[in-house]
């Protein structure tokens, strides 16, 4: 990142475009002032959601900023992390010219979004220990490489990447390093958020879909430098996070103790499942997990997957993924669900 300059990375059309200015962007104090709103062609009859939502989601961002020790201008919210990741492509990757790098086995959306955006997707498979092959990654970088995606803790392997490997990638690359921390709340490793000020090319994504228990409302978070966030704000759809989502997120964020308790029980259940998997004869290897799932290698993934389905339990068969032959991924459920899974595993 010695020669990092965001101006070299923003697409030309994004640099020059004039963003859409919504009615609510133009009147900033809309949620506090006692005004009559005749500016946005809404239906005036109150029903709780007849008005457009806050386009900047100021209340949600204020809570997140306070919790994470950041400023609100370092935060962008989206309709799930998937929208946030898509915005990164649209802001920084020129279709048919640029490329991005991801490290399989990993979250599939990086590749799908690259395809949707007509951006070349380079894949550098992780090492056998599921760590980034730093030299190979650095060698794969070209002047048109705009983003390297690191998922840590990684899905589906469950491990985090070493500090040294992430640091080397951050320091040697002049494009963006996006660390997807969807599962960070289940890990005892520190988030990379503390390093945001140190690395202008660092972007971190998190989500309320996992530990925060709000997959249904679709709220993804992007943390980056104010310059990065300003570019993303310019291109995001004006009202990309709806009113109900903002309300439910605020409610949930006010009850951190409940969230922490749920995380604690999920981790405890993860440890119980780990012990049972250790005793199951067809389980050949269990990978250590810092997430809310466990990846395990079995004798025959397709067969064991079907057997669990027959017992009414759906897990994820990852056998077609690189380095994951005959691997199954078990999401950690409630204590009761976990008990049923453990009984099913023992009875097969």
Ligand X SMILES: Cc1ncc(COP(=O)(O)O)c(C=O)c1O
Could you list the residues that contact ligand X (CB under 6 A)? 80-82, 107, 151, 155, 180, 182, 207, 209, 215, 220
For ligand X, which is the closer residue by CB, 54 or 82? 82
From edge to edge, which strands make up the β-sheet containing 327-331? 283-286, 293-298, 327-331, 316-317
Instruction: Say if residues 282 and 348 touch (Cβ distance below 8 Å).
Output: yes
User: Nearest distance from residue 151's CB to ligand X, in Å?
Assistant: 5
For ligand X, which is the closer residue by CB, 10 or 151? 151
User: Nearest distance from residue 207's CB to ligand X, in Å?
Assistant: 3
Length, in residues, of the chain: 348
For ligand X, which is the closer residue by CB, 105 or 220? 220
Q: How far apart are CA 185 and CA 212, in angstroms?
A: 9
Structure tokens at 301: 């993934």
User: Nearest distance from residue 155's CB to ligand X, in Å?
Assistant: 4
User: Nearest distance from residue 343's CB to ligand X, in Å?
Assistant: 26
For the CA atoms of 66, 70, 75, 81, the dihedral, rounded to the nearest 10 degrees, stands at: -80
Q: How far apart are CA 208 and CA 70, in angstroms?
A: 17
Q: How far apart are CA 250 and CA 252, in angstroms?
A: 5
User: Nearest distance from residue 134's CB to ligand X, in Å?
Assistant: 20
Region for residue 48 given its phi and psi (left: phi exceeds 0; alpha: psi -120 to 50; beta: otherwise): left
For ligand X, which is the closer residue by CB, 81 or 326? 81
For ligand X, which is the closer residue by CB, 79 or 145? 79
For ligand X, which is the closer residue by CB, 10 or 75? 75
User: Nearest distance from residue 307's CB to ligand X, in Å?
Assistant: 24
For ligand X, which is the closer residue by CB, 81 or 225? 81
User: Nearest distance from residue 231's CB to ligand X, in Å?
Assistant: 20
| Strand (E) or helix (H) holding 167 | helix 163-172
For ligand X, which is the closer residue by CB, 155 or 321? 155
Residue 115's contacts (CB-CB under 8 Å, 6 or more residues apart) are 121
User: Nearest distance from residue 122's CB to ligand X, in Å?
Assistant: 19
Distances 235 to 46, 85, 231, 239, 322 between C-alpha atoms, Å: 30, 13, 7, 11, 35
Backbone angles phi, psi at 169, to 5 degrees: -65, -45
Residue 230's contacts (CB-CB under 8 Å, 6 or more residues apart) are 73
Residue nearest to ligand X (CB): 80
Give burial (CB, 10 Å; 0-12/13-18/19+) of 46.
Answer: exposed
């Amino acid at each position: 990142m010695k020669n990092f300059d965001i101006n070299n990375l923003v697409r030309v059309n994004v640099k020059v475009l004039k963003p859409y200015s919504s009615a609510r962007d133009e009147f900033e104090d809309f949620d506090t002032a006692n005004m009559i709103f005749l500016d946005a062609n809404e239906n005036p009859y109150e029903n709780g959601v007849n008005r457009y939502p806050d386009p900047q989601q100021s209340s949600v961002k204020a809570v997140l900023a306070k919790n994470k020790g950041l400023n609100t201008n370092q935060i962008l919210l989206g309709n799930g992390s998937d929208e946030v990741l898509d915005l990164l492509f649209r802001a920084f990757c020129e279709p048919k010219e640029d490329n991005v790098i991801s490290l399989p086995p990993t979250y599939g959306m990086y590749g799908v979004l690259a395809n949707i955006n007509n951006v070349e997707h380079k894949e550098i498979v992780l090492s056998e220990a599921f760590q980034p092959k730093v030299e190979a990654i650095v060698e794969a970088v070209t002047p048109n490489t705009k983003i390297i995606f690191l998922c840590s803790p990684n899905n589906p392997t469950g491990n985090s990447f070493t500090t040294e490997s992430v640091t080397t990638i951050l320091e040697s690359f002049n494009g963006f390093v996006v660390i997807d921390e969807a599962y960070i709340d289940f890990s005892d490793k520190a988030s990379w958020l503390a390093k945001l000020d140190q690395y202008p090319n660092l972007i971190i994504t998190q989500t309320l879909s996992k530990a925060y228990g709000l997959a249904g409302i679709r709220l993804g978070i992007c943390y980056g430098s104010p310059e990065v966030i300003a570019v993303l704000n310019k291109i995001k759809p004006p009202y990309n996070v709806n009113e109900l989502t903002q309300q439910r997120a605020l409610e949930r964020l006010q009850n951190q103790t409940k969230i922490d308790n749920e995380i604690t029980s999920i981790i405890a259940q993860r440890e119980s499942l780990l012990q049972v998997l250790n005793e199951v004869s067809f389980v050949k290897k269990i990978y250590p997990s810092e997430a809310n799932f466990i990846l395990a290698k079995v004798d025959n993934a397709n067969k064991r997957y079907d057997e669990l389905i027959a017992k009414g339990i759906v897990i994820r068969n990852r056998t077609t993924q690189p380095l994951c032959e005959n691997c199954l991924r078990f999401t950690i459920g409630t204590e009761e669900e976990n008990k049923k899974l453990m009984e099913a595993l023992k009875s097969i």
